[in-house]
Structure 1
Amino acid sequence: MNREYKIYKITYFLMAVNVITYLYTSLKYGLSMSAMQGIQVGGFNPLYVYYYHEYYRLITANFIHFGLMHIFCNVYSLYNLGMLMEKILKEKKYIIVIVVSMISTTLFSYLLFLLFNIGTNSVMGGISGVVFGLIGSLLALSVLYGDVYSYLFKQIVSSVVLMLFISVAVPSISLVGHLGGMIGGFIATFVLEKIDSKKERIIN
């Protein structure tokens, strides 16, 4: 366990922050929170960002969860996929992909509000956007390099399709947030890899 923590310290740190935050909100509100309670602890709602300039919600929303099943599914998914991607991307790139995925998860929803006034009554929370960001990251590696990355991505395609279907079928789950995280993770990884390849060419 100690050796695993040292190798996958970013993933373990993210898991710990999510679990600690959930324990805090559980003590404060109970195992499940209402939408307004979610707002009070940093959940994302576009009105609070637009009118009160509470931009921190673009990040803090990723760490709050609305129930035991919500936190369990997200942390379990992060545990499985996060370790794989932390090993592949290494620490610096992994952190960048995570942060970009966090922001793009909520930013896409905010843009929908700005453009079409959608989501005024919704409250978003959860680390699942980052999980989708890591899926997008693996897809980017698959597109750029094929080989083992394509094999790994094919292994999770059915799960990704199922998660996207659930995002459509269950109204309380944000399809836009999931797609936003996935796109953010894809773009971040694609750009980082292209920058690295340019550096290698300059050195050579």
Structure 2
Amino acid sequence: MDRKYKDCIITYVLMGICIIVYLYTTLRYGVEMSAMEGIEVGGFNPLYIYYNHEYFRFITANFIHFGLMHIFCNIYSLYNLGILMEKILKKKKYAIVIIVSMLSTTCFSYLLFLLFNSGTNSVMGGISGVIFGLIGSLLALAILYKDIYSYLFKQIATSVLLMFFISVAIPSISLSGHIGGMLGGFVTTIILEKINIKKKMIIN
């Protein structure tokens, strides 16, 4: 395998899973997928978790997409940001950030349901929460290591603000999922880096 692909294997696997799932749902339902069809293939809705205990939806929802534009935008963003962050964080930390971002995307929305009964009529899906998790991870690095990573975050800051504006402006996009993913990536990276710093201090 080419070294370029080995260095970013997690990102390519994530992209591959999303594409395969989308091809499956396209063959089953067509190019565009309805909310109920999304539920059938693992989309997130808090009621199905609260009453049916279908906890797999916390993860599976991250891999389903509701249309061609939905998956195209997410795969494009994941490709650009994922490759960068996988090289920066290295595989182990990158994998942890990805997993936590997946869970925080859906768990944050579930928490809002438990507290405020919100999201009962919505179905959430897509890898965008993980993308926001990677944005949060880069923000954490920019805060911890300003001289090294702040310029990288500044380069995407305008795009991040635009993405948040779109999340607010378009009701069908899950703002809570994006916020949850970003918080998960941010907090996880802070913790991982603090642990890493302590290990270096002990060794020295």
CA distance in structure 2 between the aligned counterparts of 1:185 and 1:161, rounded to whole angstroms: 17
CA distance in structure 2 between the aligned counterparts of 1:121 and 1:194, rounded to whole angstroms: 40
Indicate the residue corresponding to 1:5 in structure 2. Answer: 5
What SS does the aligned partner of 2:137 have? helix
Indicate the residue corresponding to 2:194 in structure 1. Answer: 194
CA distance in structure 1 between the aligned counterparts of 2:87 and 2:202, rounded to whole angstroms: 26
Indicate the residue corresponding to 2:36 in structure 1. Answer: 36
CA distance in structure 2 between the aligned counterparts of 1:115 and 1:79, rounded to whole angstroms: 35
CA distance in structure 1 between the aligned counterparts of 2:179 and 2:55, rounded to whole angstroms: 20
Indicate the residue corresponding to 2:180 in structure 1. Answer: 180
CA distance in structure 1 between the aligned counterparts of 2:177 and 2:24, rounded to whole angstroms: 24
CA distance in structure 2 between the aligned counterparts of 1:122 and 1:156, rounded to whole angstroms: 29
CA distance in structure 1 between the aligned counterparts of 2:41 and 2:5, rounded to whole angstroms: 28
CA distance in structure 2 between the aligned counterparts of 1:119 and 1:55, rounded to whole angstroms: 16
Deviation, 1:106, is: 0.5
Indicate the residue corresponding to 2:27 in structure 1. Answer: 27
Deviation, 1:15, is: 0.3
Percent identity, aligned pairs only, is 75
* TM-score (normalizing by structure 1): 0.99
Q: Which moved more, 1:12-21 or 1:2-11?
A: 2-11
CA distance in structure 1 between the aligned counterparts of 2:201 and 2:64, rounded to whole angstroms: 43
CA distance in structure 2 between the aligned counterparts of 1:39 and 1:2, rounded to whole angstroms: 38
CA distance in structure 2 between the aligned counterparts of 1:91 and 1:112, rounded to whole angstroms: 31
* TM-score (normalizing by structure 2): 0.99
Indicate the residue corresponding to 2:158 in structure 1. Answer: 158
Matched, 1:14 2:14: yes
Whichever residue aligns with residue 54 of structure 2, its letter is E
Structure 2: gaps of 5 or more residues: none
CA distance in structure 1 between the aligned counterparts of 2:147 and 2:60, rounded to whole angstroms: 36
Deviation, 1:158, is: 0.2
Deviation, 1:3, is: 3.1
Deviation, 1:149, is: 0.6
CA distance in structure 2 between the aligned counterparts of 1:40 and 1:5, rounded to whole angstroms: 33
Deviation, 1:10, is: 0.5
Deviation, 1:2, is: 3.1
Matched, 1:118 2:115: no
RMSD: 0.8
Whichever residue aligns with residue 121 of structure 1, its letter is N
Whichever residue aligns with residue 86 of structure 1, its letter is E
Structure 1: gaps of 5 or more residues: none
Deviation, 1:170, is: 0.3
CA distance in structure 2 between the aligned counterparts of 1:119 and 1:192, rounded to whole angstroms: 31
Indicate the residue corresponding to 2:86 in structure 1. Answer: 86
Deviation, 1:148, is: 2.5
CA distance in structure 1 between the aligned counterparts of 2:60 and 2:147, rounded to whole angstroms: 36
Whichever residue aligns with residue 31 of structure 1, its letter is V
Runs of 4+ in structure 1 over 4 Å off: none
Matched, 1:69 2:58: no
Q: Deviations over 1:33-70 (max 9, x none)?
A: 11000000000000001011111101000000000000
Deviation, 1:7, is: 1.4
